Amino acid sequence: MALDPTTIRRIANLSRIRVEHDQLEPLSRELNGILGWIEQLNEVNVAGVEPLTGGAQMAMKMRDDVVTDGGYPEKILANAPDRNRQFFAVPKVVE
C-alpha cells in the first residue's frame, strides 16, 4: 500500500508531528483504510474539468494601501509560551 511506515515517517516529519515508532504500523493501517476508501474518486471521469478551488465564485476585492493595523506588541506577545523582552523566543536555530 501507498502509506507504508516509511512514508508515514516522512509525512509526520513534514507535518512536524512526532510519531512514536510503535505507532507507525497502526497509523499506516488506519490511513491506508481511509485512502483506499477515497480512491473511489478514480471512478469519476474528470477529463476536461477545471478544478474548483474554493467555495466563492467571484473575483478578489483589493484593499487600499493604508496603515490600519499593528502597533500593539503587548497583545501580540501576551500569549507567547516563551518571551524575551519584545521578542518571541525559540530553541536556538543554526542556519
Question: Footprint of other proteins on residues 25-64 (CB under 8 A)?
Answer: 27, 30-31, 33-35, 37-44, 46, 49-64
81: contact with other proteins by CB under 8 A: yes
Cβ partners under 8 Å of residue 45, min gap 6 = none
Give the SS3 label for residue 38: helix
78: contact with other proteins by CB under 8 A: yes
Cell of 38: 477515497
6: contact with other proteins by CB under 8 A: no
- Where do we find the cell 507504508? 4
82: contact with other proteins by CB under 8 A: yes
